[in-house]
Amino acid sequence: MSQQTNWVPTSVDLDKPSAARMYDYLLGGNHNFAVDREYIEQGLKFQPEIKRFAVMNRSFLRRVVLFMIDQGIRQFLDLGSGIPTVGNVHEIAQGADPSSRVVYVDNEHVAVAHSQLLLDDNENAVIIHGDVTKPWLVLADEQTRRTLDFDKPVGLLAITIGHYILDDQDPVGVFAAYRKALAPGSYLAISHLTDDFAVVKGEELRTFMKKSQNQVRPRTHDEVLELFGDFEFVEPGLVTTSRWRPERPVEEGVGAERDGLYAGVTRKA
């Protein structure tokens, strides 16, 4: 992509890479800059699986939304939604049922600006510029309340956002607040970076991301499990992204550890 910036808010730092724009680049999107692409290429040198992490995660998101649609969910809250590249939540959900409603939440200026343009004519989907670590503000936002009915089940999507919530931001408390706001019958989906597997160079990734706009905190199986609280897991439980209800057989000889992220879906009884 050429370095065109006429669509970019003036508040965007064009000299420092962002996680949202790097993810967009990995997925083949067009809303990223040279600094993002160059930084990811550096990361791929020590962690070649980064591309797979992104692709498998995006596929997991699609399967999750369709699963929730099958369970009767017609409203979604997408935390840390990122730049809306192809295969975003409202496309999937509204493709299955045009009445589906979606609230996206992100604090990355390019993600918000591009989402606003994309959703301008969509009455059932909105983006709010918000900090997901402050659930009371996200949940009380006027657009959130206007779009979603929290007296009815909601599909809460926390896809690759938990590892950007650092320990001093109380991730357990943040997730507990969102879970508390949901009506019975709601679902919670999480995917989260882990360094439980030797192939994932967790410490190198932490150091690498410190030079970007976002820091990461990989977590263990038990730490990710805690974020789901007492919600009930649907099969197959907490696995890696490619192992969660795959639509086709998993590639022969490719271990789950190469996914790099734990993934699971739970239901509020």
pLDDT, residue 68, reads 98
For the ranges 23-37, 125-139, 143-157, which has the lowest average pLDDT?
23-37
Single out the residue of 81, 93, 265 nearest to residue 187, CA to CA. 265
pLDDT, residue 1, reads 38
pLDDT, residue 3, reads 43
9 vs 230, more confident: 230
pLDDT, tens digit, for every residue of 17-51? 999 999 999 999 888 899 999 999 999 999 999 99
Task: Name the token pair of 208.
Answer: 């690498």
Q: Confirm if 250 and 242 have CB atoms less than 8 A apart.
A: yes
Which residue is associated with the tokens 């690759």? 160
Whole-angstrom CA distances from 114 to 59, 76, 81, 84, 104 are: 22, 19, 12, 7, 12
pLDDT over 70 percentage in the chain: 94
CATH topology of domain 52-203+217-267: Rossmann fold (3.40.50)
Average pLDDT, whole number, for the chain?
Answer: 92
CB hemisphere CA count around 170 (13 angstroms)? 8
For the ranges 63-72, 151-160, 252-261, which has the lowest average pLDDT?
252-261
Close Cβ partners of 72 (under 8 Å, ≥ 6 residues apart):
153, 185
Single out the residue of 242, 94, 267 nearest to residue 179, CA to CA. 267
pLDDT, residue 84, reads 80
Mean local confidence (pLDDT), 174-190: 98
Domain boundaries, the chain: 52-203+217-267
